[in-house]
Amino acid sequence: MSVEGSDGMDEIKPAEQGSDAAEAAAIESAPENVVMHEAPAAGRLGIFRSWVRDLVIAVAVSAFIILFLYQPVRVEGTSMLPQLEDQDRLFIDKIAYRVGEIHEGDVVVFEYPRDRSKSYIKRVIALPGDRLRIDHGRVYVNDRRLPEPYVPLRFEDDRSVAEMTLPAHEYWMMGDHRSISSDSRDFGPVDRSLIYGKAVFVYWPMEQVGVVR
């Protein structure tokens, strides 16, 4: 461009021998030639750099969210009906229990105690130190009948569990579809170290979209 700029300036030299008006016109045209040739390229480069920067930021933020905050998972099975259906896609909050407490009624994701390569999703029924017993399907925690509006009548069962006190750092998990769920009634309480996420939001299919309760 510098060579072309010199040639352009050479082209206006003859005008220096003419009238003042011609000289003014020639001088005024030089900056216009520079603008016409250089600005569009610089503008396109700036737009491209801005686009790349925004893309990098978006990817970095998405990676941060997926790696440290939320993780998409797919439900396989029907033990959490009617709240969660087979093949539902949902987000789990992976930081909730790093900074907060696990509460009774939370729907959580944990590594299966008998095979840590698998993950289960169940509801927290009792906490460490709680006294738990199940009498023909009716759940009692610390001698209080646990209200369970998330278990429809048609999904109840009549299994019983003798009274026990949950050890420190262990949680009692059960599926909402009691008659088919494999849960703490089968494999016992779940250690705190195995629990790694809280189910928060179903994003697919559309008819199931909503907060997990």
Of 180, 203, 181, 167, the closest CA to residue 121 belongs to 181
Are residues 189 and 129 part of one domain?
Answer: yes
Are residues 192 and 88 part of one domain?
Answer: yes
What is the Cα–Cα distance from 197 to 199, expressed in whole angstroms?
7
Q: Residue 49 in 3-state DSSP?
A: helix
Overall residue count recorded for the chain in this entry: 213
Of 58, 15, 8, 61, the closest CA to residue 37 belongs to 8
- 65-83 pLDDT tens trace: 766 789 999 999 999 999 9
173 to 70, 133, 153, 205: CA distances (angstroms): 22, 13, 19, 26
Of 15, 46, 68, which one is at a domain's C-terminal end?
68
Of 16, 36, 68, which one is at a domain's C-terminal end?
68
Q: Residue 51 in 3-state DSSP?
A: helix
Q: How many domains does the chain have?
A: 2
- 134-168 pLDDT tens trace: 999 999 999 999 999 999 999 999 999 999 999 99
Are residues 80 and 60 part of one domain?
Answer: no
Through-space distance between the first and last CA atoms of the chain, rounded to whole angstroms: 66
User: pLDDT at position 67, please?
Assistant: 66
What is the Cα–Cα distance from 103 to 124, expressed in whole angstroms?
7
pLDDT band for 32, please (50, 70, 90 cuts): very low
DSSP 66: I
Q: Which residue has the higher pLDDT, 23 or 183?
A: 183
User: pLDDT at position 68, please?
Assistant: 73
Are residues 150 and 61 part of one domain?
Answer: no
What is the Cα–Cα distance from 172 to 123, expressed in whole angstroms?
8
Residues marked as catalytic? 79, 122
Who's near 8: CB < 8 A, 6+ residues apart? 30, 33
What is the Cα–Cα distance from 82 to 139, expressed in whole angstroms?
19
**CATH assignment of the domain containing 99:** 2.10.109.10
Whole domain around residue 193: which residue ranges?
75-211
User: pLDDT at position 42, please?
Assistant: 65
Are residues 179 and 82 part of one domain?
Answer: yes
Between β-strands 190-191 and 170-174, what pairing exists: parallel, antiparallel or unpaired?
antiparallel
Of 23, 48, 68, which one is at a domain's C-terminal end?
68
Assess contact for 96 and 198: CB atoms under 8 A: yes
pTM over 0.75: no
